[in-house]
């Protein structure tokens, strides 16, 4: 019987056993991957094996993979003025994209009420621009809403521009095929797929070169200087391989577990609203709210009851301001204030779902009671 339910996989995933083993073994390899001696070549082999595994995860060749310190750095690297004169990003991007990287101005493309980017608005905003660079995430980390990346790529390319896709939340949940998405750049993060934290990759179409953020040695084809994080990269490679192999089974199981979660949420409180549920969603994510619920308080109540959940994005937790994603979707403030994200992963068990639903039954009772007290007081 589970004693805790970890339902915060969009913040970070538990390390996969394969990734743990690969990273631990790599820590015992002495060489610098740039050295020509046997020790150096052993370290290089680990990096290149991992590169092939990460490349296979998204259907590209290993030459198209640039290792970075994570998703944030890969996003910052892609948002390079060498790749476009102006920058357009969707209004629901991760803060590392919304910040605009090395661009002085960022134009935000609106999203619809279902959390999906408004393609007609994108097309309008592309009009008259020379060399636009656009950035659109594959799936939103708060709502799970899957974005029409291939359609956006067609619009951006027709306007003579390039498209970067932040696919950090995609692998292990949905198919992430770089070529089918028709993107020019793609960001990946190891720790969202069960690899170590602090490592990621920028996938780039061959022949495209962002201006490096870090200059120095010629590592990563001169795009990202610095001795490679060999253990982190080896763990990332093992996680990528496992995520690719298990995708179909994991996605099907998570979809069933999420259905059970959403049915259970509604059973204990008929006023539950599942946000962004009208459009395409990742199978592992549900964002729900109830009028009158305060997300910060609910997260603590769930934690005390044994369930780790999140109020919107992990990086914005702790501040009470409504999430920029829900604001962009025009979710009423009363609902946005109570939004709780549940996200599942490769090892989520049915026991954990049961534990969470028991906790929810108690939290929901509290919400009912305080709503009733409020009515009496009014």
Q: Which residues bind ligand PLP (CB under 6 A)?
A: 70-72, 75, 94, 96, 137, 141, 166, 168-169, 189, 191, 200
Yes or no: say if 185 and 165 are a contact pair by the CB < 8 Å rule. yes
Give least dist CB 73 to ligand PLP, A: 7
Give least dist CB 324 to ligand PLP, A: 13
User: Which is nearer to ligand PLP, 202 or 363 (by Cβ)?
Assistant: 202
Yes or no: say if 136 and 165 are a contact pair by the CB < 8 Å rule. yes
Give least dist CB 314 to ligand PLP, A: 6
Yes or no: say if 341 and 312 are a contact pair by the CB < 8 Å rule. yes
User: Which is nearer to ligand PLP, 269 or 311 (by Cβ)?
Assistant: 311
Does 176 participate in catalysis according to the annotation?
no
Neighbours of 228 (CB within 10 A): 22
Q: Which of 249, 263, 304, 315 is catalytic?
A: 315
Q: Calculate the alpha carbon distances from 325 to 113, 116, 123, 174 in Å.
A: 10, 11, 21, 21
Using the CB atoms, write b or e for 180-199: b if 16+ within 10 Å: ebbbbbbbbbbbbbbbbbeb
**Dist CA 280 CA 341 (whole Å):** 16
The residue nearest ligand PLP at its CB is: 71
User: Which is nearer to ligand PLP, 166 or 184 (by Cβ)?
Assistant: 166
User: Which is nearer to ligand PLP, 137 or 261 (by Cβ)?
Assistant: 137
User: Which is nearer to ligand PLP, 167 or 298 (by Cβ)?
Assistant: 167
Give least dist CB 124 to ligand PLP, A: 25
Give least dist CB 168 to ligand PLP, A: 4
H or E element: which one contains 176?
A: none
Q: Calculate the alpha carbon distances from 376 to 178, 186, 364, 369 in Å.
A: 57, 54, 19, 11
Which of 95, 205, 196 shows the shortest CA–CA distance to 140? Answer: 95
Yes or no: say if 208 and 279 are a contact pair by the CB < 8 Å rule. no
Residues tagged active-site: 315
């Amino acid at each position: 019987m589970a004693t805790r339910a970890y339902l915060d996989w969009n913040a970070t995933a538990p390390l996969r056993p394969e990734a743990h083993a690969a990273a631990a073994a790599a820590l015992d390899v002495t060489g610098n991957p740039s050295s020509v001696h046997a020790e150096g070549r052993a370290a290089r082999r680990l990096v290149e094996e991992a590169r092939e595994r990460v490349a296979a995860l998204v259907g590209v060749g290993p030459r198209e993979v640039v290792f970075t310190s994570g998703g944030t750095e890969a996003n910052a690297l892609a948002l390079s003025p060498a790749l476009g004169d102006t920058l357009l990003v969707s209004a629901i991007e991760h803060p590392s994209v919304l910040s605009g990287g090395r661009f002085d101005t960022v134009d935000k493309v609106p999203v619809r009420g279902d959390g999906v980017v408004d393609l007609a608005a994108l097309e309008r905003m592309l009009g008259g621009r020379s060399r636009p660079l656009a950035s659109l995430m594959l799936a939103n980390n708060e709502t799970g809403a899957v974005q029409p990346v291939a359609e956006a790529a067609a619009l951006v390319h027709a306007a003579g521009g390039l498209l970067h896709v932040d696919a950090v939340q995609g692998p292990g949940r949905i198919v992430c095929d770089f070529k089918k998405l028709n993107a020019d750049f793609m960001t990946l993060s190891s720790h969202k797929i069960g690899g170590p934290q602090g490592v990621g990759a920028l996938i780039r179409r061959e022949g495209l070169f962002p201006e490096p953020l870090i200059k120095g040695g010629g590592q990563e084809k001169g795009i990202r200087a610095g001795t490679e994080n060999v253990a982190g990269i080896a763990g990332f490679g093992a996680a990528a391989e496992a995520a690719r192999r298990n995708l179909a089974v994991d996605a099907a199981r998570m979809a069933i577990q999420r259905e059970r979660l959403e049915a259970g949420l509604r059973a204990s409180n008929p006023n539950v609203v599942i946000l962004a549920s009208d459009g395409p969603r990742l199978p592992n994510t549900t964002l729900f709210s109830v009028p009158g619920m305060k997300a910060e308080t609910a997260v603590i109540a769930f934690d005390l009851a044994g369930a780790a959940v999140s109020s919107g994005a992990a990086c914005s937790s702790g501040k009470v301001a409504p999430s920029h994603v829900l604001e962009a979707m025009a979710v009423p403030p009363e609902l946005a204030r109570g939004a709780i994200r549940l996200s599942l992963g490769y090892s989520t068990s049915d026991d954990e779902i049961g534990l969470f639903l028991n906790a929810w039954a108690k939290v929901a009772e509290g919400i009912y009671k305080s709503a009733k007290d409020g009515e009496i007081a009014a």
